[in-house]
């Protein structure tokens, strides 16, 4: 793996719950993020998936410093951005930009597109001198596939997909190294989602960006990500390369999540094993002891109530070369094949299906070799 540009260690965000009107006393905390670790290498895309309330958006906000962590560190090229002076922080912020989920509410309706995309230059005038800004904004519009002549239009004159392009242009304005994209396509129509995903991928190559891509759509995350982390109730429960996570998941939650995703292939209906979890995600104000997934887990035993499983390579796979050798926070981690993809495309019987299968194998082998070279 290339050198880590962003190192997140033991990140926590607790929102206090208070009682009383005059004398507020803390009676508990909503543990939105409760111990998250990951690295982001330069030029890579890290996908973060999880259900609503798992803390993935809070992580995103902390990465761009919109929320201050309760504890833990976020190191950007070695500097802990949670402890920087305001002046130093401003310089770092230029390099970590965000693209928001909802293109309808994240653009100011009273500002023209030119003002929206150019606003970052007001804060960081060193990037573009005043006389140069209009041209820069027009270049950005061109880069994201919008007509540069639209510079004086207002957000309501654009469709959802176009607005998201404006949001992306604003994120690119300061030539950042890292873009944190929080559900960037989930508010868009199916036929437009692919356009925006392609745009993000092209921009990554063109400007050598690193992405933290947060989403709940597992197929899009797989498509765009080099590595994927699965979050549950404030923690990463499993992390690895995309092939490791999707083809060789070892954590029961990942397995359930993957098996629950509707597959756009009616032939898969019959020979597909689905793990339907019972119940709902527990409240982050009242996290179960031990393993936080145990209340919905079919494997849970007494040990799971007592002992918090750590995010590490499971002991059974530690000495193997198996693609299941990646970090998983489960006492009883065991590989289980849940995504019926390769065989099914193979069943198609034609050339593309067979090639797909081989391609998959190749990727796994690379995935296995990656961590070893560390």
Partner 1 sequence: MLLEVRDLHVEFHTRDGVAKAVNGVNYSVDAGETLAVLGESGSGKSVTAQAIMGILDIPPGKISGGEILFQGRDLLKLKEDERRKIRGAKMAMVFQDALSSLNPVVSVGDQLGEMFRVHKGMSRKDARAKAVELMDRVRIPAAKERVGQYPHQFSGGMRQRIMIAMALALEPELIIADEPTTALDVTVQAQVMDLLAELQRELNMGLILITHDLGVVADVADKIAVMYAGKIVEQAPVHEIYKAPAHPYTRGLLDSIPRLDQKGQELYAIKGLPPNLLAIPPGCAFNPRCPLARDRCRIEEPPLYDVTESPVKRSSACHFWKECLHG
Which residues form the interface with partner 1 (CB under 8 A)? 51-52, 159, 161-162, 189-195, 197-198, 201-202, 216, 218-220, 222-223, 242, 246, 256-257, 260-269, 274, 276-281, 339, 341-342, 345, 352-353, 355-357, 359-360, 363
- Taking the complex as a whole, the smallest distance from the CB of residue 362 to partner 1 amounts, in Å, to 11
DSSP line for 35-91: EEEEEEETT-EEEEE--TTSSHHHHHHHHTTSS--SEEEEEETTEETTS--HHHHHH
Cβ distance 250 to 330 under 8 Å? yes
- Taking the complex as a whole, the smallest distance from the CB of residue 104 to partner 1 amounts, in Å, to 12
Residue placing its CB nearer to partner 1 in the complex, 174 or 243: 243
Residue placing its CB nearer to partner 1 in the complex, 118 or 240: 240
- Taking the complex as a whole, the smallest distance from the CB of residue 153 to partner 1 amounts, in Å, to 15
- Taking the complex as a whole, the smallest distance from the CB of residue 193 to partner 1 amounts, in Å, to 7
Degrees (nearest 5) of the Cα angle 334, 339, 343? 115
Distance CA 287, CA 281 (A): 10
- Taking the complex as a whole, the smallest distance from the CB of residue 324 to partner 1 amounts, in Å, to 18
Encoded tokens for 210: 């690193």
Residue placing its CB nearer to partner 1 in the complex, 152 or 219: 219
Parallel, antiparallel or unpaired: strands 96-99 and 227-232: unpaired
Residue placing its CB nearer to partner 1 in the complex, 121 or 246: 246
Residue placing its CB nearer to partner 1 in the complex, 16 or 362: 362
Q: Indicate the angle between helix axes 160-172 and 113-123, nearest 10 degrees.
A: 20
Residue placing its CB nearer to partner 1 in the complex, 147 or 355: 355
DSSP line for 342-370: HHHHHHT-SHHHHHHHHHHHHHHHHHHHH
- Taking the complex as a whole, the smallest distance from the CB of residue 181 to partner 1 amounts, in Å, to 16
Please, is 13 exposed, middle or buried when counting C-beta atoms within 10 Å of its C-beta (0-12, 13-18, 19+)? buried
- Taking the complex as a whole, the smallest distance from the CB of residue 243 to partner 1 amounts, in Å, to 9
Residue 271: Cβ within 10 Å count:
10
| Residue 24: φ, ψ to 5° | -75, 125
- Taking the complex as a whole, the smallest distance from the CB of residue 262 to partner 1 amounts, in Å, to 3
Residue placing its CB nearer to partner 1 in the complex, 26 or 159: 159
- Taking the complex as a whole, the smallest distance from the CB of residue 309 to partner 1 amounts, in Å, to 20
Distance CA 52, CA 62 (A): 17
Residue placing its CB nearer to partner 1 in the complex, 226 or 335: 226
Residue placing its CB nearer to partner 1 in the complex, 108 or 159: 159
- Taking the complex as a whole, the smallest distance from the CB of residue 136 to partner 1 amounts, in Å, to 26
Residue placing its CB nearer to partner 1 in the complex, 175 or 356: 356
Measured over the CA atoms of residue 80, residue 209, residue 211 and residue 135, the dihedral's sign is positive
Encoded tokens for 104: 């309808």
Q: Which of 209, 298, 292, 291 is closest to 259 using CA atoms?
A: 298
Distance CA 150, CA 135 (A): 13
Distances in Å between the alpha carbon of 30 and those of 10, 26, 70, 73, 285? 17, 11, 12, 19, 4
């Amino acid at each position: 793996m290339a050198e880590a540009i962003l190192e997140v260690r033991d990140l926590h965000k607790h929102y206090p719950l208070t009682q009383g009107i005059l004398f507020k006393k803390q009676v508990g905390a909503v543990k939105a993020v409760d111990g998250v670790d990951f690295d982001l290498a330069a030029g890579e895309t890290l996908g973060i998936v999880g259900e609503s309330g798992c803390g993935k958006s809070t992580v995103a906000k902390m990465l761009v410093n919109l929320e201050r962590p309760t504890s833990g560190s976020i190191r950007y090229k070695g500097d802990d951005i949670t402890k920087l002076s305001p002046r130093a922080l401003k310089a770092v912020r230029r390099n970590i930009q965000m693209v928001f989920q909802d293109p309808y509410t994240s653009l100011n309706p009273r500002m023209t597109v030119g003002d929206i995309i150019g606003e970052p230059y007001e804060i960081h005038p060193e990037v573009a001198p005043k006389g140069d800004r209009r041209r820069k904004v027009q270049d950005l519009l061109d880069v994201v596939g919008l007509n540069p002549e639209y510079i004086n239009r207002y957000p309501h004159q654009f469709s959802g997909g176009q607005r998201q392009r404006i949001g992306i242009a604003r994120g690119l304005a300061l030539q950042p190294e890292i873009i944190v994209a929080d559900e960037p396509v989930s508010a868009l129509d199916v036929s437009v989602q692919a356009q925006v995903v392609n745009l993000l991928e092209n921009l990554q190559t063109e400007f050598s960006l690193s992405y933290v891509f947060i989403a709940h759509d597992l197929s899009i995350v797989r498509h765009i990500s080099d590595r994927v982390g699965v979050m549950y109730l404030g923690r990463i429960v499993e992390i690895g390369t995309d092939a490791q996570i999707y083809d060789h998941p070892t954590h029961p939650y990942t397995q359930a999540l993957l098996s629950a995703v509707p597959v756009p292939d009616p032939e898969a209906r019959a020979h597909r094993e689905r793990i339907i979890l019972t119940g709902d995600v527990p409240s982050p104000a009242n996290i179960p002891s031990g393993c936080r997934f145990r209340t919905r887990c079919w494997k849970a035993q007494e040990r799971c109530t007592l002992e918090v499983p750590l995010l590490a390579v499971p002991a059974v796979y530690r000495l193997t070369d198996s693609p299941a050798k990646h970090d998983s926070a489960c006492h009883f981690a065991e590989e289980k094949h849940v995504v019926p993809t390769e065989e099914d495309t193979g069943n198609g019987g034609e050339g593309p299906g067979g090639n797909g299968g081989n391609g998959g194998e190749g990727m796994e082998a690379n995935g296995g070799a990656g961590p070893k070279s560390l």
